[in-house]
Structure 1
Amino acid sequence: MKDLPINREYLLQTLRSLLAIPSPSGMTDAVVAFVCKELETLGVPYELTRRGAIRADFKGSRSSPDRAIVAHLDTLGAMVKGFWNNGRPQVVPIGTWSARFAEGARCLVHTDDGTAYRGSILPRKASGHTFNEEIDTQPVAWTNLELRLDEPLTDEAGCRALGIHVGDTISIDPMPEFMDNGFLVSRHLDDKAGVAAMLAAARAICESDAKLPMDCHLLFTIAEEVGVGASTVLHGDVAELVSIDNGTIAPGQYTCEYGVTVAMQDSSGPFDRHLTRRLLELCGKYDIEHSRDVFRYYRSDAASALEAGNDIRTALVCFALDASHGYERSHEDSLIALARLLALYMQSKPLFARDKTALGPLGDLPPTRSDLLPASED
């Protein structure tokens, strides 16, 4: 096993390209096509589900059981709900995010014929010169927002004449800024930064011609932000699943801002004890800056995979993210640390030979220490 060098420029350029492609849940074809092209360039075979989730395949020395790494291509967004009396569209969120972060967002409205119109999402009382203190006292709610289109419109009929209808998808401008000191500021780093790190790890594996002990599938899902995630892209041979998502930088959290974070539990429950410890061991052995954290209000592709009935070991590894689901910030060192860990994990041996079958004997599972068991009452 080797700690493979990660191409920083490739990772960052891939992230720039991903951010430039609008991909709110339900409108992911373009970003799927981009990732497929990247996989073809790397020489990695892949397949698509009917809806467009990607399963790329790295061959190992054995094909069953195998492992998978998953990140999601879809982002938050919004949708036209209806029209206010002034003709401006009403909006509802795609995914879970606060109207507070929608206020002032620049965006595109995507119509049925492929035309995209520019606009801004604003609170209904947006002019301080008119509403004075009511600007600050109006509620922060999606029902208090409107879409100001940059077109000469005064009524609903004018909007409809442009081809704008109820149900049109609204993509939010990412507004990326990649700073010289390594900070990356943009909307939609969740989870396009994770996708970029996964592709960078894949490139490192391909360029090194590293030998993998078991097949490893790279999964790119398209509906994680609306709760579907990895529920449909797995197959029965996968025994280990590592999900990639953001670790939140906030008071009370222990996420590593310049390294990788191994999550021990999220709102869906604890992750597999053995798989998380394997990832922590790899971080320690290869001197990858890391931390452990627990997330209360959070779930990832791993949860949807389990809820779909897959009996697999799951773990969650995170890049650092400040202001998640808002105007987010990460650091390129955190993405490099994540990519290094992923490349090492792909090269690591299977956790347990016993996992080859869904039902079987105790096998090589670690024994329970008898001195830690409660004393018998007999």
Structure 2
Amino acid sequence: MNQTVNFLKELVAIPSPTGYTRDVQDYLIDVLTDMGYEPTRTAKGLVVVTVPGAIDEKQRVVTAHIDTLGAIVRAVKPDGRLKLDRIGGFAWNMIEGENCTVHVASNGTTVSGTILLHQTSVHVYREAGTVERSQDNMEVRLDAKVTNEAETRALGIEVGDFVSFDPRFIITPTGFIKSRFLDDKVSAAILLTLLKKYKSEGITLPVTTHFMFSCIEETGTGANSSIPEKAVEFLAVDMGAMGDDQQTNEYTVSVCVKDGSGPYNFDFRQHLVSLCKEKNIPFKLDIYPYYGSDASAAMRAGAEVKHALLGAGIESSHSYERTHLDSVEATQQLVDAYLLSSLVEA
């Protein structure tokens, strides 16, 4: 797990809200090239590595996404603070009090700040604790001496500048990983670790496999293009959602039965279950009711593939997330077992 955790720590430290992912794409290109691969980057930013396998006439696609939630400057307010528009699906209260960075497009600088409710001070606003959090009253308090719109604009800040959130990455002595953006940088770290293993150990995969790192998944598009014609299986490695009526936990790998897009391929799902039982990998089957993935995006785009979804169990998804090393390890074991297995039988 040390290698996976190191990749994860590096990944979450790179700001990459959907639409602002050039830096994390560059990181992947550099890391994969250093491993000895020849990664490519598509026009819309997918980073792809193709690993030749013993069988080439039928192929696989495995994805993880490296874009995250974030925000974009909607307006500069008269008092110099910033109004935001959301990138990705989260409730405003989930970022209240979070430190953030404004990425100033006009001059390439950054300005730090904090996301707060306008009526934050309980000494001034009686409704501070009860007012609904919305786009109209959440704002960025900049760490700069600004008191009006003109002073903020003098920093170069403009509508359309991206805003990233502080990940606050922590690993506890008890094995818990706490951070924003474990969705889905845990999975990206797992794929990088396995790619490094296959290259360093000279492992030949049984099936030619295309590893895709997508960069627009959080806004619903995902890896729905550049899918090779020979691909017959599509595995999205993402996250398992936890909550009421959910079986997913932080200590096993979660295999998705159905999400908001509908059921995943039954034969593919059963193949993953069989691998878990054969390899003694702890797992849970689950339904994620308000969820979509790279695989579901590919299906909507008309991909002619069997599709499946699995991932580590993530507590408090799209907020300050948490998982455990046990879940990361179980997920990595299942992805490895799948990639070293035969094609799913019809």
Fold similarity call, TM over 0.5:
yes
Correspondence for 1:124: 118
Residues 47-78 of structure 1, C-alpha deviation per residue, up to 9 Å, x if partnerless?
11012211111110122210011000100000
Whole-angstrom CA distance in 2 between matches of 1:200 and 1:332: 14
Q: CA deviation at 1:256?
A: 3.4
* 2:187 alignment partner, one of 184, 194, 207: 194
Answer yes or no: is the 8 Å Cα contact 1:272–1:313 preserved in 2.
yes
8 Å Cα contact 1:99/1:142 also seen in 2:
yes
Equivalent in 223, 228, 241 of residue 248 of structure 1: 241
List aligned pairs for 1:55-66, cutoff 5 A. 55-66=48-59
Partner SS for 1:92: strand
Tell me if structure 1 keeps the 8 A contact 2:65–2:214. Answer: yes
Using structure 2 for the length normalisation, give the TM-score. Answer: 0.97
> In the alignment, which residue of structure 2 is the partner of 1:178?
171
Q: Show the counterpart of 1:51.
A: 44
More strand by share: 2
* Bigger share in helix: 1
The answer to whether the 8 Å contact 2:238/2:312 transfers is yes
Deviation at residue 340 of structure 1 after TM alignment = 1.2
Measured in 2, the distance between the counterparts of 1:337 and 1:114 equals 41
Measure the CA separation in 2 of the matches of 1:142 and 1:125: 13
Q: How far did 1:211 drift?
A: 2.6
Q: Distance in 2 between matches of 1:122 and 1:257?
A: 30
Residue 207 of structure 1 corresponds to 200
Contact 1:108 1:170 in 2 (8 A): yes
What percent identity do the matched residue pairs reach? 35
Q: Alignment partner of 1:326: what SS?
A: coil
Which residue number corresponds to residue 166 of structure 1?
159
Out of 325, 332, 336, which is 1:339 matched to? Answer: 332
* SS of equivalent to 1:180: coil
The 5-angstrom pairing of residues 217-366 of structure 1 reads 217-352=210-345, 365=346
Give 1:274 shift.
0.6
Q: Which has the larger radius of gyration?
A: 1
Tell me, yes or no, if the aligned pair for 2:249 and 2:314 is still in contact at 8 Å: no
1:161-196 deviation per Cα after TM superposition (whole angstroms, max 9, x unaligned): 110001110001101111121100011111011111
Checking the alignment, whether the CA contact within 8 Å between 2:59 and 2:207 is kept in structure 1 is: yes
Query: Which amino acid is 1:165 matched to?
Result: E
Contact 2:76 2:158 in 1 (8 A): no
1:203 offset after TM fit, Å?
2.2
The CA distance in 2 between the partners of 1:71 and 1:333, in whole Å, is 19
CA distance in 1, matches of 2:165, 2:139: 14
Task: Specify the SS of the correspondent of 1:142.
Answer: coil
1:301: Cα distance to partner?
0.6
1:208 Cα deviation after fit = 3.1
**Alignment of 1:111 onto 2:104:** yes
Question: Given the superposition, is the C-alpha separation of residues 343 and 44 from structure 1 closer, same or farther in structure 2, using an over 3 Å criterion?
Answer: farther
Aligned to 1:78: 71
Residue-by-residue CA offset, 1:350-374 (whole Å, 9 max, x unaligned):
124xxxxxxxxxxxx4xxxxxxxxx
**Counterparts of 2:251 and 2:304 in 1: how far apart (Å)?**
33
- Matched with 1:98 is 91
**TM-score normalised by structure 1 residue count:** 0.89
Q: Aligned with 2:308: secondary structure?
A: strand
CA distance in 1: counterparts of 2:321 and 2:110, whole angstroms: 25
Q: Aligned-pair distance for 1:44?
A: 2.4
Distance 1:121 1:20 in 2: 19
Contact kept? 2:90, 2:319, Cα under 8 Å: yes
Higher mean C-alpha deviation, range 207-216 or range 279-288 = 207-216
> How far has the Cα of 1:148 moved from its partner?
0.4
Q: 2:142 aligns with which of 125, 146, 149?
A: 149
Question: Any idea what SS the aligned residue of 2:198 has?
Answer: helix
Q: For 1:268-297, what per-residue CA distance to the aligned partner results, in whole angstroms no more than 9, with x for missing partners?
A: 000011111111111110001111001111
Tell me the amino acid that sits aligned with residue 117 of structure 1.
V
Equivalent pair of 1:256/1:290 in contact (CA under 8 Å): no
How many residue pairs were aligned? 345
> Which segments of 5 or more consecutive residues in structure 2 lack a partner in the other structure?
none
1:27 has 2:20 as partner: yes
- Supply the distance in 2 between the matched residues of 1:180 and 1:196 (Cα, whole angstroms): 21
